[in-house]
Amino acid sequence: MVRDFSLFSSPGMAPTPNGDPHAAVACVHEGPPIFYSPSNTRDGRGTWVITRARDQRRVLQDTRTFSSHRSIFASALGEHWPVIPLELDPPTHGVFRALLDPLFSSKRVIALEPTIRERARALIDRIARERTSCDVMRDFALPFTVSVFLSFLGLSQRRSEVFVGWVSDLLHGNADKRTAAARSIVGFIDELADRRRRTPAFDFMTFVVQAEIDGRSLTEEEVRGIGVLFLVAGLDTVAAAIGFDMAYLARNPKDQELLRNEPDRVMLAVEELLRAYSTVQMIRVAARDIVFEGVPIRKGDYVSCATMFANRDPSEFECPETIDLARRGNHHTAFGYGPHLCIGAHLARREIVVGLREWLARIPTFRIKEGTAPITHGGHVFGIRDLILTWT
């Protein structure tokens, strides 16, 4: 069966109707477990889309048949190198995960929590002092995630605005802007790596340039592949999650008051919002011909596992379209599944929980400004371009 889910096209990030891309694709579970979308990738090739959670898990576990070996970021620059570890398969993938996992342990994230809280408070206090309305993406979600990330990388906050610009061009710019932003990010990572080789510091990039795998140092390309991925993977995903959560709370004042009065509930609520507003579409490439759920997938075909489908699958979640902030046993796959499970999940969860708690503690009942609607977009990562909130 062929369907056009161009909402998923990357870079075709057309604004979605009603500011709710998840609702726009909710009908998928009325259809077959797998369908072909002719326009779902940057290079114009079509993609097999897997709609059921159970089938997605089969694909994501079977790395021999469904490979991650692509060069999506690099191909935008006409180059071929993998972002690491995302575009590697086992066993090499596991070697890099073993190297990088300890940097993102829950212990490391707990140590970073005071910085995360301080960044959130600084931004929100300023908004609360000066205004009764703001674009929460521009004024809070993006600068907050960029700022936490700069701290994590050990870089000066002075670069914050430059990063926000790159990320927003990469996400929302036209083809020229996206390519220019990608070049700037690569140039920045290469230069930073070079600086840390000459003058080591106590930070992420120094760790990477000094690291060894299998008794050798990392190549320049590997260092770049790691640096670029962490920069890109850790910014828009967290900002988008905060944006969708804020949009939900703005539209549901009762839930907003509940979380404001009982901040201990925020952690569980964030899991439900991650489920209901999952943002990432995972792509694999078939490494051999295979018949999957009755359809012939050819070697080289793209296969998509969209978390926004798996996490609203009625055979996995009771009343998946209902948002229940106290939902228990919430085994969502917002952070992926299998060997590529998100390395930054602890950090992301902390940022979202702290960001929401601090916002609710400082900003009174807020709603979406009359006459505006959030501009959301599809793409490989669903997101929100702007969300104008107002309060009195």
User: What does the binding site for ligand HEM look like in residue numbers (CB under 6 A)?
Assistant: 85-86, 97, 104, 229-230, 233-234, 237-238, 241, 279-280, 282, 307, 334-336, 340, 342-344, 347-348
Q: Which is nearer to ligand HEM, 148 or 174 (CB)?
A: 148
Smallest distance from ligand HEM to CB 278, Å: 7
The DSSP H or E segment spanning 206 is helix 204-210
Which of these, 194, 189, 203, 197, lies nearest to 231 by C-alpha position? Answer: 189
Smallest distance from ligand HEM to CB 175, Å: 23
Which of these, 271, 255, 258, 263, lies nearest to 348 by C-alpha position? Answer: 271
Beta bridge partners of 213: 216
Phi-psi region of 379 (alpha: psi -120 to 50; beta: other; left: phi over 0): left
Q: Which is nearer to ligand HEM, 129 or 380 (CB)?
A: 380
Smallest distance from ligand HEM to CB 148, Å: 8
Q: Which is nearer to ligand HEM, 127 or 233 (CB)?
A: 233
Smallest distance from ligand HEM to CB 241, Å: 4
Q: Which is nearer to ligand HEM, 260 or 340 (CB)?
A: 340
Q: Which is nearer to ligand HEM, 43 or 176 (CB)?
A: 43
What CA–CA distances, in Å, run from 150 to 158, 288, 356?
9, 41, 20
- Rounded CA gap, 353 and 272, in Å? 12
The DSSP H or E segment spanning 348 is helix 345-362
Q: Which is nearer to ligand HEM, 119 or 129 (CB)?
A: 119
Apex 182 CA angle, 247 and 206, nearest 5: 95
Smallest distance from ligand HEM to CB 216, Å: 21
Smallest distance from ligand HEM to CB 104, Å: 6
Q: Is 51 exposed, middle or buried (0-12, 13-18, 19+ CB in 10 A)?
A: buried
Q: Which is nearer to ligand HEM, 131 or 331 (CB)?
A: 331
Beta bridge partners of 50: 34, 305
Q: Which is nearer to ligand HEM, 16 or 237 (CB)?
A: 237
Residue nearest to ligand HEM (CB): 344
- Rounded CA gap, 286 and 206, in Å? 36
Smallest distance from ligand HEM to CB 3, Å: 22
Smallest distance from ligand HEM to CB 324, Å: 20
Which of these, 245, 234, 248, 258, lies nearest to 345 by C-alpha position? Answer: 234
- Rounded CA gap, 164 and 148, in Å? 12
